[in-house]
């Protein structure tokens, strides 16, 4: 349930844009989908494809991409209703998840740690030696902020997060439950006797406004820092290997796996369950399709698919042909059988003609 309890006038002021058609004093109680919304609820229309559903909806007010005629509901007309809706959702989420500043009695804060103003530290959380937590940050229950970590202003560290030593977070970073930043990467040198561990003594640096999903692992660098650029969004259960350099506003969707020492340019998108082998460079703006695995460098602004990943058109042609393989196989086998049969017939004809040739001689 998303309790709104705002008048349309207040909503229009929050959005900062749009033409209000109807009563500005109409009060929206809840935010709901088109089919579930009632006469006191606000809903939204993403695009023209939903106009019929909007006319059938019982919603009392709608965010719409254009004015809809013959509609009883109040309307706010916006260029991008769903984008505008994200601002409403952000406000609702902020209200639902607000916490009071202060350090819980069961939290452990090292005497050398520094805690800024307005910080919330939840039950059982640990702030270790020489760690710094910026103003207005939230450290939820049972989170661990390791030695010499820096948590920037306004960060939100959800329950059960582990920030190992020497992790630096910029401002307004969100790290969701179960994620581990700064663990040792998979560093082993194979020898004839046994694998030899390579100590990982570097750190992790995360830029401003990065969001990291649940159960994400970002490994520390061997030396130096694994870096995540500002504005990057990382989905659940993603792995980023040691020494990676992730650019700004990159999107790593759930289950993506990035091997060590990969450099990813600004604005790259890795779709779900995709991945990259180690020591590669992915050009800015490239898009890696779902389940695709990259084994070589990718130029900027291209879209690739498949495993191994190829250009999108080539991958689509190959995928199309795969469905035809059984029939192609039957045709090829038929041709081979006919060719073999023809060779056998030729052999029989030759054998039958040999005595005549000898008699003529």
Catalytic annotation, residues: 242
**Which of 244, 233, 315, 303 has its CA nearest to residue 276?**
244
Whose structure tokens read 């017939």?
Answer: 345
For residue 139, the 8-state DSSP code is E
Taking the C-alpha atoms of residue 256 and residue 61, their distance in angstroms, rounded to an integer, is: 39
**Which of 354, 356, 336 has its CA nearest to residue 344?**
336
Alpha carbon separation from 81 to 39, 94, 123 (Å, rounded): 20, 20, 39
Taking the C-alpha atoms of residue 13 and residue 276, their distance in angstroms, rounded to an integer, is: 45
Torsion of CA 168, 280, 284, 84, to 10 degrees: -60
Please name the residue ranges forming H helices in the chain. 8-15, 51-56, 81-96, 312-322, 325-360
Taking the C-alpha atoms of residue 26 and residue 356, their distance in angstroms, rounded to an integer, is: 108
The neighbour count for residue 322, using CB atoms within 10 Å, is 9
Burial degree of 91 (CB within 10 A; 0-12, 13-18, 19+):
middle
Rounded to the nearest 10 degrees, the angle between the axes of helix 81-96 and helix 8-15 is 100
């Amino acid at each position: 349930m998303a309790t709104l309890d705002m008048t349309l006038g207040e909503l229009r002021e929050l959005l900062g844009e749009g033409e209000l058609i109807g009563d500005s004093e109409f009060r929206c109680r809840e935010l709901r989908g088109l089919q579930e919304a009632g006469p006191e609820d606000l809903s939204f229309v993403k695009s023209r494809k939903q106009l019929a559903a909007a006319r059938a909806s019982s919603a009392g007010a709608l965010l719409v991409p254009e004015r809809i005629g013959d509609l009883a509901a109040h309307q706010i007309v916006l260029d991008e209703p769903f984008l505008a809706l994200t601002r409403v959702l952000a406000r609702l989420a902020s209200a639902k998840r607000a916490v009071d500043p202060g350090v819980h009695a069961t939290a452990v804060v090292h005497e050398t740690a520094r805690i800024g103003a307005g910080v919330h530290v939840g039950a059982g959380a640990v702030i270790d030696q020489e760690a710094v937590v910026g103003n207005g940050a939230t450290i939820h229950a049972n989170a661990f902020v390791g030695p010499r970590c820096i948590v920037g202003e306004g960060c939100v560290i959800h329950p059960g997060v582990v920030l190992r030593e020497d992790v630096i977070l910029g401002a307004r970073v969100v790290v969701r439950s179960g994620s581990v930043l700064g663990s040792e990467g998979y560093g082993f040198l194979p020898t004839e006797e046994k694998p030899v561990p390579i100590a990982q003594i570097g750190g992790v640096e995360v830029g401003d406004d990065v969001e990291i999903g649940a159960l994400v692992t970002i490994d520390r660098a061997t030396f130096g820092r694994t870096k995540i650029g500002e504005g990057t969004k990382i989905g659940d259960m993603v792995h980023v290997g040691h020494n990676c350099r992730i650019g700004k506003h990159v999107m790593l969707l759930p289950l993506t796996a990035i091997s060590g020492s990969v450099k990813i340019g600004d604005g790259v998108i890795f779709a779900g369950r995709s991945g990259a082998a180690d020591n590669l460079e992915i050009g800015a703006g490239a898009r890696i399709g779902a389940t695709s695995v990259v084994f070589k460098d990718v130029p900027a602004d291209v879209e690739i698919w498949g495993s191994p990943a190829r250009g999108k058109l080539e991958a689509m042609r190959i995928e199309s042909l795969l469905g035809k393989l059984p029939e192609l196989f039957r045709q090829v086998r038929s041709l081979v059988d006919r060719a073999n049969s023809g060779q056998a017939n030729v052999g029989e004809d030759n054998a039958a003609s040999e005595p005549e040739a000898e008699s003529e001689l």
